[in-house]
Amino acid sequence: MAAQPVATDPPLNPAFAAKARAPDLKSAAVLVVGQQDGRALYAKNTDTVVPIASITKLMTAMVVLDSQLPLTEPIAIATDDIDDIKGTRSRLKVGTTLTRGDLLRLALMASENRAAAALTRAYPGGARAFVAAMNQKAVELAMWRSRFVDGTGLSSDNVSTAGDLAKMVSTAYRYTVIREYTTDSAYAVTLANGRTLQYRNSNRLVQNPHWTIGLSKTGYINEAGRCLVMQAVIAATPVIIVLLDSWGRLTRVGDANRIKKWIESNSDRRPAGRRKG
């Protein structure tokens, strides 16, 4: 779904806009805001409603953690967790049992869809109650243009805007578990049969020593294009970056790097040395 221009983008931080020539970003909808003051550094189609794919899983994680259900509780993958929307594959076979915490980590770090589906199903009241909690959380965050229909993001009916997602990322960043799980570069789970499954972060920037990333989530389905949201510290400034509807495998990463270079080149503070990765 291609984002269309609208006239409701937030005003840019005047102190930054006065000296910063904005980069040419390829993502259809973009918002970069200062995390401390909430003021926009870059805004493009921020009120356009689009599918958000696996960015949805950040809301899934907040609902799971808000429930205070034990992360050590074992949950078995069931037939109902198989993706019947897009037909995506998973290495978590039916009958595989992992803790809620491991499922949450795989859903956030590696965007594992069966893990997210199992978390949704294992919620008190089942998937319907879980989705209701997701939408209630969206209301609490004033995400007025957002709607959730499942915990995986596989349905194109999971929709939001760059503006709403900046609110969601800002709130998700307050959860220590989400910060940790979304920035793990790799993780291994050991199954009951002794087999080990290795997973890697779906955002390769978390392994880049020139980035300091505090939260990260990728997303992709055909209807949404490639999406990326992050909290990062650039030139000593914490920012939230939302990139939606990027086409091509490298566009969202390229846009993120262009944003980083742009902020650094227009900052009075030089970038530090090695970054978290």
Q: What is the 3-state secondary structure (H, E, C) of the chain?
A: CCCCCCCCCCCECHHHHCCCCCCCCCCCEEEEEECCCCCEEEEECCCCCEECHHHHHHHHHHHHHHHCCCCCCEEECCHHHCCCCCCCCCCCCCCCEEEHHHHHHHHHHCCCHHHHHHHHHCCCCHHHHHHHHHHHHHHHCCCCCCECCCCCCCCCCCEECHHHHHHHHHHHCCCHHHHHHHHCCEEEEECCCCCEEEEECCCHHHHCCCCCEEEEEEEEECCCEEEEEEEEEECCEEEEEEEEEECCCCHHHHHHHHHHHHHHHCCCCCCCCCCCC
Annotated catalytic, 146? no
Q: Does the pLDDT at position 123 exceed 70?
A: yes
Annotated catalytic, 137? no
- Choose, from 27, 111, 156, 202, the residue flagged as catalytic: 111
Give the mean pLDDT of the chain. 93
- Biggest CA–CA distance in the chain, Å, is 61
- Read off the pLDDT band of 14 (50, 70, 90): low
- Read off the pLDDT band of 8 (50, 70, 90): low
Annotated catalytic, 111? yes
Query: Is the domain 14-265 a CATH 3.50.50.100 member?
Result: no
- Read off the pLDDT band of 270 (50, 70, 90): low
Please give the pLDDT value at position 277. Answer: 36
Please give the pLDDT value at position 174. Answer: 99
Q: Does the pLDDT at position 196 exceed 50?
A: yes
Residue 184 CA to residue 108 CA, distance in Å, equals: 9
- Choose, from 44, 57, 167, 217, the residue flagged as catalytic: 57
The CA–CA distances, whole Å, from 241 to 28, 31, 118, 148, 222 equal 13, 6, 29, 21, 21
**pTM of the complete model:** 0.91
In the chain, where are the structural domains located? 14-265
- Choose, from 27, 54, 156, 202, the residue flagged as catalytic: 54
What is the percent of the chain with per-residue pLDDT over 70, rounded to a whole number?
A: 91
